[in-house]
Structure 1
């Protein structure tokens, strides 16, 4: 079963489907031929070329078993670097991409900002002291912790800043600490945001701000025996006490679902907090879970108080929100990791909070005008303008937060494939490709194709929501030819239909497409 493609669609110079810069690879169109055909494109002449539209029988079989209609499945397979599609099934239909949308955010960010881009978190002060320097180890004035949007502001990052302050001779702080989150607009995107699902405390649901410390997560190390359970909490926050009230059972520890954990945070006198953990839990079990339950200001305040005390210091003052005044003096600056490394931390484990911070950073670094009020709205403009410059049609592209954790984000398979083809030609392709999960080795693909000859031959981003399963990336077949593969399932039974995505990848990897 075939489909007629217009040459303008497939060989458009900016589309990367057959552009003049395409690499010669296993019979793919070479530079000279692309240059010869380019004038025909602009004359609007068309050639009929055949792309298979019927899904491979092994893919259809999985969908049928999972009770997923073929109309809920979109797929596009085409040679990496240029050439005619070998499979095109509902490729123009806008679909929910789930976390494969992170490929859009990370590639655009690499191209717009460069892999050496860094964020800065800074500590400033204002003081009535004429010199603004500590006297006798005492710093009298107001400190400002200014967030720069670092997607990976860790405990160690803030510890390093406090150590630097201590090394300047400061031991006793007599003044308030102001948290400056104003780099992103609004400063607290999480406040008033609608709940995405029934587990708002889960790590994947964290909505970042410009000063998000360790994703505001408490790491709970749970441990049980036949008689009871205990918990160890990281970081050690002053004033936080955690008690376990689990109902122990004989369930296999490996089968425990952390969604069954109940959490209740109770304020106590003197600003202290009591965290109660409950729900069923297996006997003789060890596990770890992260929770976003503590107020962000309290989290930072108690962390600073605890660690500053460890450094032998004292702090008399309170914590508040605000902005850094122009006359403030810089005390400590802490650069982040490079964007080239951050995209790995985003795409391999599929980190939503980091992606959203990167997306808002795109908005704040936007160069065109007029600027919009929200960082995320400016980011949408940046991404749209990038698609336009690259000549990728975007009629099906709908952006929200850039992470795919959204009920509204959409993209078609042909638009995602266009982005992946542009990625191949990018100066930053090595960084982009290195960020993708590798089948059988790491990230969200570490358990897929683990014991097959395909280990290491597949670099794809995965995506999962309750009604979405997706893959997008690069597959090398058994003949050594590289393919761009994009597939989306949007259906209530997508969870059961996910093996169809693996079946499609296996079909491509066998190399049956060469010469067809």
Structure 2
């Protein structure tokens, strides 16, 4: 218990709006917010009730050993820190060397130059099936001597169930064409992204389609304005897409654009089968091939012969992209793969199976799953929830995992890379904190590992849920620095 004199000291330095956050009920080590953190929250207009915090040693036996805890058992929206749960469980359940497979099969008889029959493009859930990888597969097909395909190309997405969860899904926000909003399927090629460059001078504005889509036109109706280049998004409008009588895709750019400005937009604007059709035609023609047929949906018959297979990067390599750059579509693919791989022979809902598999993992590690809500495993969700205590317990389990090096190396390093590259530079935390960040309209969060000036490693978790959450990012950086600095003693803790 705290002495009366020390409680009076606390009351002397705290303001009325912060006292509830600063005055502990029993032990200062467990319930008192550092004064700089509390002050930063106050300046941001964020009440102490809106933040959930846990700080504890990495070598703690459980999450009850916290040196700082505030609202730690509240279920909070974690934003993209939820990716830590998905990626750690995937490492443990699938292994760091797990790879996804994309295959091309055929039901046609063997042929030298002309393949008469269907080709089957069977997706295996590769989270990063880029245009370049598809091009490599088509080149391998061409190197087998096949020049002409006289049949349809059948897209088999049955690895995930349902096969197209993106269809009829309500938009997450007002930017459905943004890359971060892409909903994966088992055969998501290049994230369905069309890249368009817009470049203007004093008197003209030019556009160029970077993605090699066959028979696709950019119709430039952009007007020049006098705004600074940095404000180009203020006048940008989503392109209009139409299909002409000759099956050409017309992408019309409207609105206005600043003078002497250059940007590249990566947009999810085309129907997926339409996108794959024009992409394959464009790439196959570049390789000197011809194709008489169309894209259709279907399943691969058991009698089809495997022509070639592409294997993805390892899971360990993949989660470095997911966590460092907070890639939502890739995280969602990993989440669905957890469900599918739990029993590949069962035609079960992949998301539901992933939910069950993650909860089973939590149970085996002694982590209470009460209050945890899973939707897609990426944190891009209005419903996903987890408490700071549960997240801290997850990170403790990660530190004890055989795959801790792979997991930790996937996290952004403060002041160095990923989503933390511009944060905490020239601070005690720079290069000493591996932190996954999270941001939604009403939620900001950090979770990860911090090494302090004494060489001790800590688990640090903080989530802020409020309409003003975006203003609390500085406060979260203050918390990370407080840990990295060695957690000031009681006198300095309350220093204004």
Structure-2-length-normalised TM-score: 0.90
Q: Which moved more, 1:172-181 or 1:81-90?
A: 81-90
1:242–1:276 Cα contact (<8 Å) kept? yes
State how 1:484-499 maps to structure 2 within 5 Å: 484-499=459-474
Counterpart Cα distance in 2 of 1:335 and 1:89: 45
Counterpart in the other structure of 1:107: 88
Q: Which moved more, 1:468-477 or 1:277-286?
A: 277-286
CA RMSD of aligned residues (A): 1.9
SS in 2 for 1:463: strand
Counterpart in the other structure of 2:342: 366
Counterpart in the other structure of 1:446: 421
The correspondence for 1:77, drawn from 45, 55, 59, is 55
State how 1:229-244 maps to structure 2 within 5 Å: 229-244=205-220
CA shift, 1:258, in A, is 6.9
Counterpart Cα distance in 2 of 1:392 and 1:352: 25
SS in 1 for 2:31: coil
- C-alpha distance after superposition, 1:357-394 (max 9, x if no partner): 0000000011499x683100100000000000000111
- C-alpha distance after superposition, 1:249-294 (max 9, x if no partner): 2333234337833321122112111111223322101111110001
Counterpart Cα distance in 1 of 2:438 and 2:318: 19
2:79–2:438 Cα contact (<8 Å) kept? yes
- The answer to whether structure 1 residue 225 and structure 2 residue 221 are counterparts is no
- The answer to whether structure 1 residue 275 and structure 2 residue 251 are counterparts is yes
Counterpart in the other structure of 1:505: 480
CA shift, 1:234, in A, is 2.2
CA shift, 1:54, in A, is 2.4
Change (3 A) 1:283 1:377: same
2:177–2:238 Cα contact (<8 Å) kept? no
Counterpart Cα distance in 1 of 2:135 and 2:291: 15
Counterpart Cα distance in 1 of 2:245 and 2:343: 49
Change (3 A) 1:482 1:216: same
SS in 2 for 1:231: strand
State how 1:188-207 maps to structure 2 within 5 Å: 188-207=164-183
Change (3 A) 1:269 1:372: closer
CA shift, 1:114, in A, is 0.4
SS in 2 for 1:498: helix
CA shift, 1:156, in A, is 1.3
1:258–1:289 Cα contact (<8 Å) kept? no
- The answer to whether structure 1 residue 61 and structure 2 residue 45 are counterparts is no
CA shift, 1:451, in A, is 3.0
Aligned pairs, how many?
Answer: 465
Counterpart Cα distance in 1 of 2:234 and 2:93: 39
Counterpart Cα distance in 2 of 1:311 and 1:248: 38
The correspondence for 1:134, drawn from 101, 111, 119, is 111
2:445–2:463 Cα contact (<8 Å) kept? yes
Change (3 A) 1:73 1:231: same
1:372–1:378 Cα contact (<8 Å) kept? no
Counterpart Cα distance in 2 of 1:367 and 1:432: 24
Counterpart Cα distance in 1 of 2:35 and 2:224: 47
- C-alpha distance after superposition, 1:104-144 (max 9, x if no partner): 000000000001000000000012xxxx2114x11111100
Counterpart Cα distance in 1 of 2:223 and 2:45: 37
Counterpart Cα distance in 2 of 1:407 and 1:297: 29
Counterpart Cα distance in 1 of 2:233 and 2:32: 39
The correspondence for 1:481, drawn from 438, 445, 456, is 456
Q: Which moved more, 1:270-279 or 1:331-340?
A: 270-279
- The answer to whether structure 1 residue 357 and structure 2 residue 342 are counterparts is no
Counterpart Cα distance in 2 of 1:219 and 1:444: 22
SS in 1 for 2:134: helix
Counterpart Cα distance in 2 of 1:180 and 1:468: 37
Change (3 A) 1:49 1:426: farther
2:235–2:257 Cα contact (<8 Å) kept? no
CA shift, 1:416, in A, is 0.2
SS in 1 for 2:92: helix
CA shift, 1:192, in A, is 1.1
Q: Which moved more, 1:324-333 or 1:83-92?
A: 83-92
Counterpart in the other structure of 1:165: 141
CA shift, 1:59, in A, is 1.2
Counterpart Cα distance in 1 of 2:94 and 2:234: 38
- C-alpha distance after superposition, 1:169-192 (max 9, x if no partner): 111111111000111001111001
Counterpart Cα distance in 2 of 1:189 and 1:221: 30
Change (3 A) 1:408 1:365: same
SS in 2 for 1:256: helix
- The answer to whether structure 1 residue 124 and structure 2 residue 105 are counterparts is yes
- C-alpha distance after superposition, 1:216-269 (max 9, x if no partner): 001112211111211221212112111232332233323433783332112211
2:432–2:451 Cα contact (<8 Å) kept? yes
Where in structure 1 are there 5+ consecutive unaligned residues? 3-47
Q: Which moved more, 1:387-396 or 1:260-269?
A: 260-269
SS in 2 for 1:51: helix
- The answer to whether structure 1 residue 408 and structure 2 residue 386 are counterparts is no
Counterpart Cα distance in 2 of 1:259 and 1:463: 27
Counterpart Cα distance in 2 of 1:167 and 1:196: 43
